[in-house]
Amino acid sequence: MPPLFLRKGSFKRLFFFSSSSSSSNKEYVEDHNNETTKLKIPLSHQKPTWKCFSYDQIFEATYGFCPDTLVGRGGYAEVYKGIMRDGQVIAVKRLTRASDEQKEKDFLTELGTIGHVCHPNVSSLLGCCIDNGLHLIFEFSLHGSVASVLHDEKLLPMNWKIRHKIAIGTARGLHYLHKGCQRRIIHRDIKASNVLLTADYEPQISDFGLAKWLPSQWTHHSILPIEGTLGYLAPEYFMHGIVDEKTDVFAFGVLLLEIISGRKPVDGSHQSLLSWAKPLLNEGELEKLVDARLGGDYDIIQLDRLAFTASLCVRASSVWRPTMTEVLEVMVDGEMVKENWKMQEEEEDEDGFCGFDDLEYESESSCSTSPLNLSTGSSLNQQFVADNEKLM
């Protein structure tokens, strides 16, 4: 395979994109006699450090990208487990899309996003490699993803303490992306398989392949084609391509329901988690919402907070959804005054989808979804729309 090269200047623009930092504050350390180049990119909020790996290093660590080391495959990348000479366990994400130009765009998008974030609940980037392809190198997550632990029938059920820890930690990570970064980051693909778990089950948001910067003066992005994962897509995004922080908030609400119930966002019969959970939330039947495998072993106060938060996050109208700051207040810090979040009756009646014909047309023509392509399942699309129509 011929080596891939980034266009001249694109890597430099990535490293020095912050115009607010003076050149005297930047540090660029390069050792031509060494295999690695360390780069420190100061920002006003954090100073992450990562390095460029040589292809020989990651080739050796993954045993030549042996199929036995393949641990995951997504819409445009494969992930391999590797072990460095010093014993460090890494995850190597190799981009696989056919178009070299698209590979570069995806690579720079993810590297330019995750390379400048630093938070305990966001996946940590160790570095990259641009020899013989495009690769991102991360710390390896011992327990895999929330999805792999929560839905693996061979494993013991995840206990409530861990579920609550995952919910709070993910909320903090998402709050950081929306409020704590130099630029607002919209993840666009918050889901159980994109939340990784450290050795002590600390959640870390990962996979920034669909992430978007949102300039401070912008209220939202308008994006086509629609990309994301069925079951987590907010109505305004699924229908009209409108993306802002509330897009992530909606997906987080679905994730909360998934954590509480142990159910997948769309089950084998194509029923959405929302269509099943919404009546229980409306009637306050929270005990029926909880994963039966827990056998009643959960904290009722924590359950009440998580369930109420989920009910706010999955509201059809983005205007009535909370920000992640408000989410954390409800989940952890503040008084949970439910009356403050009550919608007016006319808003509840009118709060729903519109323009289904346009939605169906867009879904059948141009949607590409990772990992599930919406255009390949029209019956699933129709069921998703019908389920959400019931909720509004």
Which band of pLDDT confidence, cut at 50, 70 and 90, is reported for residue 38? very low
| Tens of pLDDT, residues 358-392 | 333 233 222 322 333 333 333 334 444 444 444 44
What are the φ and ψ backbone dihedral angles of 139, each rounded to 5 degrees? -65, 140
Distance CA 329, CA 123 (A): 24
- Please tell me the predicted confidence (pLDDT) of residue 342: 75
Distance CA 306, CA 170 (A): 12
- Asked whether residue 118 carries a pLDDT value surpassing 70, the answer given is yes
pLDDT confidence of residue 103: 66
pLDDT digits (tens, 9 = 90+) for 179-196: 998 888 999 999 999 999
Note the pTM of the prediction, 2 decimals.
0.76
Distance between CA 122 and CA 172 in Å, rounded?
9
Cα angle 173-174-178, degrees, rounded to a multiple of 5: 120
301 CB neighbour count, 10 Å cutoff = 9
Alpha-carbon distance of 104 to 130, in angstroms, equals: 10
Catalytic site includes residue 357: no
pLDDT in tens, 200-254: 999 999 988 888 866 565 555 566 666 778 899 999 888 888 889 999 999 999 9
Which residues, 6 or more positions from 128, have their beta carbon under 8 angstroms from its beta carbon? 50, 52, 53, 107, 111, 115, 134, 135, 136, 137
Q: What is the pLDDT of residue 324?
A: 96
Residues 6+ apart with CB under 8 A from 22: none
DSSP calls for 56-101 = HHHHHHTTTT-GGGEEEE-SSEEEEEEE-TTS-EEEEEEE--S-HH
Name the active-site residue from 56, 68, 100, 189: 189
Cα→Cα distances 332→158, 232, 349, 355, Å: 21, 23, 30, 38
Please say whether the beta carbons of 17 and 112 come within 8 A. Answer: yes
Alpha carbons 367 and 374: distance in angstroms, whole number: 6
Residue 303, token pair as written in the block: 């359950």
Contact 374, 381 (CB under 8 A): yes
Tell me the angle at which helices 300-313 and 273-283 cross, rounded to the nearest 10 degrees: 120
270: left (phi over 0), alpha (psi -120 to 50) or beta: left
Mean pLDDT of 22-41: 36
Among the listed residues 308, 319, 172, 182, the one whose alpha carbon sits nearest the alpha carbon of residue 246: 319
Q: Which domains are assigned to the chain?
A: 10-139 (3.30.200.20), 146-391 (1.10.510.10)
Residue 372's SS3 state is coil
* CA dist., res. 247 & res. 2, Å (int): 39
93 is known to lie in a ligand binding site: yes
pLDDT of residue 223: 67
Find the angle CA(74)-CA(312)-CA(230) to the nearest 5 degrees.
25
